[in-house]
Amino acid sequence: SSEVLEAIENVIQDVLTSLAQKKAPVLTVANRSDWRNIEFKDSVGLQMIPHCTTKQIRSDCPRSAPKFALMLKILSMIYKMVQSNTYATKRDIYYSDTLLFGSQSVVDDIINDISCMLKIPRRSLHILSTTKGFVAGNLSYTEEDGTKVNCTCGATVFTVPSNVQGIKNLISHAKFMLIVEKDATFQRLLDDDFCNKLSPCIMITGRGIPDLNTRLLVRKLWDTFQIPIFTLMDADPHGVEIMCIYKYGSVSMSFEAHHLTVPSIKWLGLLPSDLERLNIRKDALIPFTKQDQNKLASIQKRPYIACQPMWKKELEIMAASKLKAEIQVLTSLSSDYLSRVYLPNKLQFGGWL
């Protein structure tokens, strides 16, 4: 915490020095969303290059002055929280003055900028992400406050902890981990007792695009147990995008890649090639929208696709067919096809990429 306080004091010291010299204070932050500042490394995923381009948030420019003020406001809130050893979620910060901040996304963006500027992970700034992910299966652990969590009992679902760094005594006999894109599929697999039927496993869902805590938990479980991790996504550009976030990280959080990515993640399904292999009826598939086409084209250009020839092939099949499918499409074969046939066969015969 002394490191965090010192980093914030240095920023404020620079602001005061500028004022004393009758200069307009400026905050310098990295261009987080610029692909030119990102390099791809097999072992880490997308990470920020050491000497990246920056942008200046000036206090004397009408366009950036409001952001400058909000950054100082949130820095002062972080400083107080670190001093008093209290925590807040990003939502708490937004609701402390909704009129001032205007929207939750403004707060989220500023917090990421501050974390990147100070080179300090968000958790150390005493800001917790709101968690939306779920975990179930063969896993037990103790939360930071001493609460014992046992996910192993039947079809119980637990929310991903809000302080993943603080959990300890992780125990699991799981043979693999399955990341499921959507809540509905996750619940369906639980109802079918999938976690115990085949062999003990851990199931996680970020319920769509994963929040920070879900990604941190996937990484922590990987570091702890070193078991294979598979993803079960819709066969569409959105599903591929979500899988890439777990595996390689996102551009906007590339400065924290080392804590968040798991490059060993495998694509288990739903593969575009499965649709043909399983003779899924064409009328059960969904035609691409313009947005789908654009998203797929942008994914195909990303640096990590070049080193994944099998993925590249699957994306080409998707692009050529201009059709997408949700995991639920497998129910057109039989109601429990996913848990009874599809997943057991894939896991037994190595049907992943």
Give the pair of three-digit tokens for residue 232. Answer: 């079960």
Please count the other Cβ atoms lying within 10 Å of the Cβ belonging to residue 46.
25
Q: Which helix (H) or strand (E) holds 170?
A: strand 168-171
Query: For residue 274, what are the contacts with CB-CB under 8 A and spacing of at least 6?
Result: 235, 280
Closest CA to 64 of 100, 30, 90, 25: 25
Distance of CA 84 to the CA centre of its chain: 29
Helix axes 2-20, 65-84, angle to 10 degrees: 140
Query: For residue 191, what are the contacts with CB-CB under 8 A and spacing of at least 6?
Result: 155
Q: Tell me the C-alpha distance between 182 and 280, whole Å.
A: 21
Q: Which residues are known catalytic residues?
A: 95
| CA angle, residues 41, 44, 47, in degrees to nearest 5 | 70
